Amino acid sequence: MMKTELEKCMAGEPFNGGKDPKIVEMILRTRRLLAQFNATDYADNGRKQELLREMLGSVGKGVHVDIDFHCEYGKNIFVGNKVIINMNCTFVDNHRIEIGDNVLIASNVQIYTATHSTDVHERMVWDWQEGDDICYTIARPVRIENGVWIGGGAILLPGVTIGKNSVIGAGSVVTRSIPANCVAVGNPCRVIRHLKSLLAPQ
């Protein structure tokens, strides 16, 4: 039995989302919910929490997501307890984005699970028809463990894990996984200091 495009997506295989009605409907649904969320009165925390719980895969306690917020599927984002996602963040969640407890995500952070082949012959859809995506996408999960702080404007690329209690410096581009209990900065992001894990929350 042939896999659907959504099944290919979650298996890390090249997929064409425009060919899968479930993907198309999921994106449309999320765009509508995002429009409501970003237009909700800033003081109406109850309504914002309702929309987040409808839009995302799961949302823990003590979660604050500032506006404007942008995502792709919505249901692939799983947020733990006591998490701040500051203004103007973009999460391209073609695959799972898992965010642990006690996590701070500063403004303008971008998290990407989607990538493409560097070979144009593999990247583009050559038998394209109206309604199809023009290219194939490959999705890899991103994981942010407990106690992480991600500085403003940082970019996390597909497939990376940020280990518990680590700090990612502002403007960093994370191309590879970062171990626990360290400070990492730069483009590409590299570890510059190790932290005392005994002092950090578990």
Please give the positions annotated as active site: 116
End-to-end CA distance of the chain: 44
Structure token digits, residue 151: 């500085």
What distance in Å separates the CA atoms of residue 16 and residue 71, rounded to the nearest whole number?
Answer: 18
Task: Count other C-beta atoms under 10 Å from residue 33's C-beta.
Answer: 17
Instruction: Find out whether the peptide bond into 41 is cis, omega within 30 degrees of 0.
Output: no
Helix (H), strand (E), coil (C) string for 137-159: EEECCEEECCCCEECCCCEECCC
DSSP single-letter state for residue 4? P
